[in-house]
Amino acid sequence: MSRYLVTGGAGFIGSHIVDRLVGRGDSVVALDNLSTGKLANLEQSRGSIELLEADVRDPNAVRQACRGVEYVLHHAALASVPQSIADPISANEVNASGTLNVLVAARETGVRRVVYAASSSVYGDTPPMPIGEDRPPAPLSPYAVSKHVGELYCQIFWKLYGLETVVLRYFNVFGPRQDPGSEYAAVIPMFITALQGGESPVIFGDGEQTRDFVYVSNVVEANLLACQAPKAVGRVMNIAGGARTSLNELVTMMRQAIGADIPAAHGAPRPGDVRHSSADIALAQELLGYEVTVTLEEGLALTAEWLAAAR
């Protein structure tokens, strides 16, 4: 049995990781300031974990959370492009400075390895697709900049201090517990909720923009593999579904899954959004043994089922 710290542990991805760790018998500390995370996300594991209601911007709280921990899975973030454009200072404080706090605390308390939840947004709009990890960063938003800074800190802490770090660049993660009601909601829960409510999902732009969607359980598995894989230390890897899907195609798939014959509506494109995004996942397959075990179609059905039950 190992001891893990999951920052952002009450959030969408973090809570799924917490549940998986608890389910296999590990000791878990979850740190979350509950600004976007929800206690309801931890309902399954709440009685089996240590929950710290704290902020990664607080170095003392992070240091306390790291004590006695072997692995840190760092998911606390201000995870919205539009919100970062409206408030770039907060994005930097949480995503860049918060990550630095985590790394400093991990080094000081003897943590074995830190796995960092990075973002495909660092690539920007650079063609061609699919994108490999050797593609130079070209961020289009303060969010993307701040997440890339976190990556750089991770690599520096490995090179300078010998703290083992692994960077996982997530593409478009989706699944149960993603909040469809947020002002900054991701497209899949937002689209499904609209269709289930008999409304047209709103696509910002012409809908021909593409994304690489990955169901959350695949991401959880990537995190667990990243804690143990010896060749992953100091590396940056894409974590995605490995397929390219346009938003128009996505809505068609959802309409078929839900049985709702409702056309999409279109709004103006949003600033900071990338046009196309699709991942080469060969490196994660090689270094982690990562595989996509839940497909986009299967994940959409599971997510629609969860959202219908949550209505």
Q: Has residue 224 been placed in a domain?
A: yes
Task: Examine residue 186 and state whether it is found in any structural domain, yes or no.
Answer: no
Q: According to the model, what pLDDT value does residue 183 have? A: 62
Q: Which residues 6+ apart lie within 8 Å of 284 measured at CB?
A: 168, 222, 237, 238, 239, 290
Residue 223: CATH number of its domain? 3.40.50.720
Residue at 13 is within a domain: yes
Residue 32 lies in a domain: yes
b/e sequence 62-88, b meaning 16+ C-beta within 10 Å: bbebbeebebbbbbbbbbbbebbbeeb
pLDDT at 157: 98
What's the structural domain count of the chain?
1
User: CA–CA separation, 31 vs 9, rounded Å?
Assistant: 6
- C-alpha angle with apex 179: 252 to 41, nearest 5 degrees? 125
Instruction: Give the pLDDT score at 180.
Output: 82
pLDDT in single tens digits along all 311 residues of the chain: 899 999 999 999 999 999 999 999 999 999 999 999 999 999 999 999 999 999 999 999 999 999 999 999 999 999 999 999 999 999 999 999 999 999 999 999 999 999 999 999 999 987 788 999 999 999 999 999 999 999 999 999 999 999 999 999 999 999 999 988 776 668 899 999 999 999 999 999 999 999 999 999 999 999 999 999 999 999 999 999 999 999 999 999 999 888 888 989 999 998 878 788 899 999 999 999 999 999 999 999 999 999 999 87
Distance linking the first and last C-alpha atoms of the chain: 37
Query: Vertex 219, ends 185 and 135: CA angle to 5°?
Result: 85
Dihedrals φ, ψ of 91, to 5°?
-60, -45
The verdict on residue 159 lying in a domain is: yes
Which domain does 138 fall in, by range? 3-174+214-240
Position 185 scores a pLDDT of 63
The CA distances from residue 203 to 21, 44, 179, 270, in Å, are 36, 34, 17, 10
What global pTM score does this model have? 0.94
Q: Catalytic site residues? A: 143
Q: What is the dihedral of CA 103, 151, 153, 288, to 10 degrees?
A: 60
User: Residues 3, 38, 305, CA angle at the centre, nearest 5°?
Assistant: 100
